[in-house]
Chain A
Amino acid sequence: MKIDFIVNGKKVELDTNPTRRLLDVLREDLGLLGIKEGCGEGECGACAVLLDDKLVHSCLVPLANARGKEILTIEGLKNTEAYRIIQDAFLDAGSVQCGFCTPGFVMSTYALLKNNPDPKEEDIKKAISGNLCRCTGYQMIIDAIKLAAKRGEKLWKA
């Protein structure tokens, strides 16, 4: 079946099975390897992307549900000012250890700050409640998100 969608601003049309996981299509067909497969059942958030501006776990999305929609992956976010702010905050707060979960956390952070420029600690915890990290114990990630909110104040509120 022909299915078209937009990935990181580029139009894509594929002739493929509509039940395939968006995760597999992004990684295997389009080579976007920043998206990770952790659990494959929606628990860990390592495969998080934005679908029409909403955070989703791409391992749970049948490709059919992405038809005609816009997908933003960590690769698409990479060249933006928002990404630079989040990346620096994650590095400065020591939120990256093995790094496997990091792209998912960055996507969740972006989804949060875009809609809530001045999050309370509870909002931050809720926003990353669908992401698992087995290294940091989360506190450094929470610190990073606070830092990113503060440093990018003008950007998030714009």
Chain B
Amino acid sequence: MEGLIPESLNEALDALSKERFIPVAGGTDLMVRYKRWKNLTPALPYPPLFISQLKELKGIYRENGEIIIKSATELSEIEKSPLVPSILRKAVSQMASPGIRNMGTIGGNIQNASPAGDTLPPLYVLDARVVLLSKNERRCLYIYEFIKGPGKTERLDNEIIYEVRFKIPTHTHEFYRKVGTRKANALSKLSVAALAQLNEEVLEDFRISFGAVAPTPIRRMEIEERIRGKALSKLDDHLIDEIAHAYEKHINPITDQRSDKTYRKKVTLRLLKAFLYQIRSR
């Protein structure tokens, strides 16, 4: 079977309820992963279900204090939407190159579940939820529940990622850094996304996520909890070292063609400290 180009989301879900397909949106990851010689079709493991033309999966909306991004919304749309928080826009604007951002989708980047997936650390700190649809069910999972490991997610074979949603963040400090070999078309060696809210000298909220330094992005609620509610005057060098030390054992990068584990770990911890210093200096 050559695949299916459904006319509606219902048709797509109906097809998925009967047969196994591989959903294909922008194709920017799958067309490369399964590519063969030129003039041959990529060797997809299952027939493709093309979903990027489905209107139900497009668009960015604001609803009851939440931002909703439909799964097949292209990265270039997210990059330029004033509705999208800047932490996510910054990350997206540094992904790949303009031509790829015109095709690649947020749902695709999530389902690809790469340890270096660049939308993931911002979505982790935004406490984003992934909404999955199948013919008879709707499920909603936090992004950190949804991502299971490299290339592995909670999506079932009969489900489609429908949308990503998160509360509009209120924060006073924001930090995003991607470290790559060059500015464009580079997969991340590591990335750091963080938000913090300072209110009357008290650190009311602090969230940080690290990408490409473990099988999945890292977010540690129990360490964040230790910082939350602290008066800024308590955020001295000693506490900053203690926080970095607490994160250290969770940051377990690998050595690969892009970088090595010593560099990744060192730079990640330094960027964490840089953000804490930045908060301390207001």
A residues engaging B (CB < 8 A)?
1, 3, 17-21, 23-24, 28, 37, 40-43, 45, 48, 51, 54-57, 59-62, 64-65, 67-68, 108, 111, 126-127, 129-131
- Give A26 to B134 CA distance when docked, in angstroms: 36
Q: Does A45 lie within 8 Å of B97, measured CB to CB?
A: yes
Instruction: Write the chain B residue with the least CB distance to A25.
Output: B39
- The number of residue pairs between A and B whose CB atoms lie closer than 8 Å in the complex comes to 106
CB distance from B78 to the nearest CB of A (A): 14
Interface residues on B, range: 20 to 34
Bound state CA distance, A130 and B96, in angstroms?
8
Whether the Cβ atoms of A37 and B26 lie closer than 8 Å is no
| B-chain residues with CB within 8 Å of residue A41 when the two chains form the complex | 32, 35
Q: Among B3, B76, B98, B185, point to the contact of A19 (Cβ < 8 A).
A: B3
Residues of B within 8 A of A131 (CB): 97
Chain B residue nearest to A66 in the complex (CB): B53
Contact A48-B99, Cβ < 8 Å, known A19-B42, A43-B185, A65-B52: yes
Give chain B nearest CB distance to A132 CB in angstroms: 9
Pairwise interchain contact A42-B98, C-beta atoms closer than 8 A: no
Residues of B with Cβ closer than 8 Å to A?
2-3, 5, 24, 26-28, 31-32, 35, 38-39, 41-42, 44, 48, 50, 52-53, 76, 96-100, 102-103, 183-185
CB-based contact B2/A1 at 8 Å = yes
Q: Are A130 and B100 in contact (CB under 8 A)?
A: yes
Q: Which residues of A contact B183 (CB under 8 A)?
A: 129
Contact of A40 among B24, B38, B50, B97 (CB under 8 A): B38
User: In the complex the two chains form, is B53's CB within 8 Å of A65's CB?
Assistant: yes
Q: How close is A113's CB to chain B, nearest CB, in angstroms?
A: 13
| 14 additional A-B residue pairs with CB within 8 Å, beyond A60-B26, A65-B50 | A1-B2, A18-B5, A21-B31, A21-B38, A21-B42, A23-B38, A41-B35, A60-B100, A61-B27, A61-B103, A62-B27, A62-B50, A130-B96, A130-B97
Q: List 30 A-B contacts (CB under 8 A).
A: A1-B2, A18-B3, A19-B44, A21-B31, A21-B38, A21-B42, A23-B38, A28-B39, A37-B38, A42-B185, A54-B76, A55-B99, A56-B102, A56-B103, A57-B100, A61-B27, A61-B31, A61-B103, A62-B24, A62-B48, A64-B50, A64-B53, A65-B27, A65-B52, A67-B5, A126-B98, A126-B184, A129-B185, A130-B185, A131-B97
